[in-house]
Amino acid sequence: MSARIRLSQTQNTGLRQARRGRRGISLLEVMLAIAILGGSMAVIVQMVHTGSRAAIRARELTQAQIHAESVMSQIVSGVVLPQTASTVPVETYDMAGEGMYSVDVQPGQQEGMLMVAVTVERTLTSLPKPVMFTLQRLLVDPEFEAMMTSDEEMSELDDGSADSTESQSGESL
């Protein structure tokens, strides 16, 4: 038993001496910890900055998409005729004059069809590139539709007058 006691006392003495030689952390360890903390903080700040720019860009792109859909809805419903227009100011933004939209109307591949493209663009000082959204849709040409409708009405009138002429000639016999 005395051998065990001596062994444990020897181990305790060795631990005490090791603790006495090293009571705190060294300056090198402090500097290394500060460097790691500073580097990680720099990475976190950069990630937050990138995330906030992406959120601003997404918000602006969504607003551009909503405005393009609004203009396209006006064209589809017939409120606005499908005509080419360039650099029309967007009035729905908070700061007037920053947003512009344009409408490009081209003939479609089939007769009586139009390819309508509405492009909304907004330039912001907080973003390096302007936000741009283009919406394209194939529409029936209103002039072609009116021409087809008038042709149908004329043929119905011709059919109706032929029927009435036949019925009048049948009654006279």
Measure the CA–CA gap between 67 and 90, rounded to whole angstroms: 8
Report the number of secondary-structure helices (H) and strands (E) in the chain.
3, 4
In this prediction, the residues of the chain whose per-residue pLDDT falls under 50 are: 95-97, 172-173
Most distant CA atoms of the chain, gap in Å: 148
- Domain architecture of the chain: domains with CATH: 43-139 (3.30.1300)
pLDDT value of position 116: 94
Listing DSSP states for 17-53 in one string gives HHHHH--S--HHHHHHHHHHHHHHHHHHHHHHHHHHH
pLDDT digit string (tens) for 76-91?
A: 998 888 888 888 887 7
Cut 0.75: pTM above it: no
